[in-house]
Amino acid sequence: MRIPIQEVTPETKTAEVLGWVHEVRDLGGLSFFIIRDRTGILQVTVPKKKVGEEVLAAIRDVSRESLVRVAGTVKAIEKAPGGRELVPVEFEVISKSKSPLPLDVVEKVPAELDTRLDARFLDVRRPRVAAIFQVRSSVMQVISEFLYARGFVNVVSPKIVAAATEGGTELFPIAYFEKEAFLNQSPQLYKQLMMGAGFEKVFEIGPIFRAEEHNTTKHLNEATSIDIEVSFADHHAVMQILEDLIIRVYQEVNDRCAASLEAMEIGPLSVPKTPFRRLPYADAIRIAADATGVSYGDDIGTAAEKAIGEIMGEHYFIVDWPTEIKPYYALPYENDPAVCKAFDLMHPRMELSSGSQRVHQHDLLEKQIRTKGLSPESFEFYLQPFQYGMPPHAGWGLGAERLIMTMLSLGNIREAVLFPRDRHRLTP
Ligand code: ATP
Ligand code: MN
């Protein structure tokens, strides 16, 4: 009976394991194989004089990254990884690997990210790369648990849509029978429809598609958005939920993913300090003005983000944005309509999330859609529920990959996606 490699301890007597041949070392009379499965590595030591002909034939034939089955006796030995080795009675090559490998799994030579992504299945055989996706999986689980525990309903909105959420050009058109359709860039409009439907608290974790042409280290053309929308809540309330969520994610990753963090050689995460500071947009611009030349009314681009992040040094919110540069659905302050109840959650390196209290008044919403140069006619399905008892509401969208990237200090957002889609990459 096969057991996970991790379960082979110095006290184990006999074991049968399945794994990939991580490393091979031949010292003449003695051969060493490091066998790897998703739980760990194990040294297999073959004293050539003491094993049968079948074992000898198999080890002559085996290449690195072949899948093998090894059964034999376990010996405690201090110098081996995990303090034990396996001496085979049986050694079978189950699935042979071609040589040379498109990517060196042992990483003697560091590979370019492009090479790694081309051979992603081999790349994620590396324990420290697999660890990213272990953490990602846990993060998604924690987020769902957190939101379910707070009474959120999980919804799924369509990804094939007729209208752009925010107008603009960042849309992928698709052929939809005789009509023109697009891949959705955000579940925004549908989340709001569900507020009109009386759902009160919804969340969705799903893909968003953005036809951004530029190649950056923090943009994907297909990303994962964690979205919430809450009725009878203002922007302060949903910022608090977001702050609580981020903290919970960091804490739980430390609790649940110690082995993965160790495999990545980053140790326990330092949990962000709370409360996250609320930095008014006007002050943010002042901080960035000298270094980057931005002025009031400008968007906060990458350079400004960085300049402000260096000063802030920890997660923070940028609040009170000019109405003009936020989407039409962000609610202006009653006493100062040039400023709206929108916020961005920032990691010192980049934006993680955008949100706001939303406009729930039909006529104001229609007016703001026009102000943005869009036509209310193409938003009819969206505007309709605002005439039938729409509650006040607020929400945000948080980029899953940016959360993982900043949490694990990854240099490129592509490292947080198994099969990233970017300007040049459509396979694998
Ligand atoms: P940025 O200005 O950094 O390009 P954005 O303001 O256009 O981001 P939003 O429309 O506010 O993005 O989307 C909400 C969140 O979704 C962002 O804060 C980010 O975390 C994530 N996100 C948006 N677009 C992308 C993308 N192309 N790749 C990865 N994540 C994205
Ligand atoms: Mn944004």
Question: DSSP string spanning 56-68?
Answer: HHHHHH--TT-EE
| The pLDDT value given to residue 169 | 73
Please tell me if the CB atom of residue 31 comes closer than 6 angstroms to any atom of ligand 1: no
Which distant-in-sequence residues (6+ apart) come within 8 Å of 384 by Cβ? none
Do 111 and 103 form a contact (C-beta atoms < 8 A)? yes
Q: Which protein residue's CA is at the shortest distance from atom 22 of ligand 1?
A: 399
Q: Sort strands 316-322 and 277-280 into parallel, antiparallel or unpaired.
A: parallel
| The pLDDT value given to residue 108 | 81
Query: What gap in Å lies between CA 276 and CA 316, rounded to an integer?
Result: 5
Q: Which protein residue's CA is at the shortest distance from atom 4 of ligand 1?
A: 219
Give the number of the atom of ligand 1 that is nearest the alpha carbon of residue 344: 18
Q: Which protein residue's CA is at the shortest distance from atom 21 of ligand 1?
A: 399
| The pLDDT value given to residue 321 | 98
Which distant-in-sequence residues (6+ apart) come within 8 Å of 162 by Cβ? 179, 180, 181, 182, 378
| The pLDDT value given to residue 107 | 82
- Percent above pLDDT 90 for the chain: 96
Query: What gap in Å lies between CA 305 and CA 300, rounded to an integer?
Result: 6
Query: What gap in Å lies between CA 341 and CA 192, rounded to an integer?
Result: 16
Query: What gap in Å lies between CA 334 and CA 326, rounded to an integer?
Result: 16
Whole-structure pTM over 0.85, yes or no? Answer: yes
Of 76, 59, 77, 57, residue with least CA distance to 68: 59
Please tell me if the CB atom of residue 395 comes closer than 6 angstroms to any atom of ligand 1: no
Please tell me if the CB atom of residue 223 comes closer than 6 angstroms to any atom of ligand 1: yes
The alpha carbon torsion through 239, 240, 243, 249 (nearest 10 deg) reads: -120
| The pLDDT value given to residue 163 | 76
Q: What is the pLDDT of residues 132-172, one digit of tens each?
A: 999 999 999 999 999 999 999 999 999 999 877 777 678 99
Please tell me if the CB atom of residue 351 comes closer than 6 angstroms to any atom of ligand 1: yes
- CA 372 centroid distance within chain: 31
User: Cα separations (Å) of 351 from 244, 306, 344, 406?
Assistant: 17, 10, 7, 10
Flag residues of the chain having pLDDT under 50.
Answer: none
DSSP state for residue 379 in the 8-state scheme: G
Query: What gap in Å lies between CA 413 and CA 349, rounded to an integer?
Result: 12
